[in-house]
């Protein structure tokens, strides 16, 4: 928690400049569970990935930072609905009772792009 403010500030600045936020190194190579917890916390903060210093950290980091199947499915639904609404000349719209506007569309595009980069979807 002693570096929480700094970690949050990094994410905020990265998002403002539309660049990836990569979380700090986890040095205890014998604590894989702690590494995974740290990855999950970093993802919750908004980080896009984690610096790794050992090969055994790569797979858990990739798994945790990759979009889930549910996230991918929802992002694809948002993008399909957005395409339909754009064709009809509509700007912001509701999907499942929630407003969809450009920040939501961009976030969905980001999820799909990350999924493609991770080999989780074709295209």
Domain boundaries, the chain: 4-65, 69-117
Given a contact cutoff of 8 angstroms between Cβ atoms, the answer to whether 101 and 53 are in contact is: no
Determine which of 23-27, 51-55, 116-120 has the lowest per-residue pLDDT on average: 116-120
Assign residue 53 a region: left if phi > 0, alpha if psi is -120 to 50, beta otherwise? Answer: alpha
DSSP 120: S
Active site residues: 101
pLDDT of residue 1: 67
pLDDT tens for residues 50-92? 999 999 999 999 999 999 999 999 999 999 999 999 999 998 9
Q: Mean pLDDT of all residues in the chain?
A: 95
Instruction: Supply the pTM of this predicted model.
Output: 0.82
DSSP string, 53-101: SSHHHHHHHHHHHSPPHHHHHHHHHHHHHHHHHHHTT--SEEETTEEE-
């Amino acid at each position: 928690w002693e570096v929480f403010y700094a970690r949050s500030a990094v994410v905020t600045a990265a998002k403002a400049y539309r660049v990836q936020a990569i979380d700090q190194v986890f040095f205890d190579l014998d604590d894989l569970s702690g590494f995974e917890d740290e990855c999950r916390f970093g993802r919750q903060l908004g980080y896009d990935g984690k610096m790794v210093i050992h090969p055994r950290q790569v797979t858990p980091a990739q798994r945790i930072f990759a979009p889930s199947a549910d996230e991918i499915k929802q992002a694809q639904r948002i993008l399909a609905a957005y395409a339909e609404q754009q064709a009809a000349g509509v700007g912001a719209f509701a999907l499942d009772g929630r407003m969809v506007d450009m920040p939501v569309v961009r976030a969905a595009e980001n999820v799909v792009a990350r999924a493609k980069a991770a080999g989780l979807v074709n295209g």
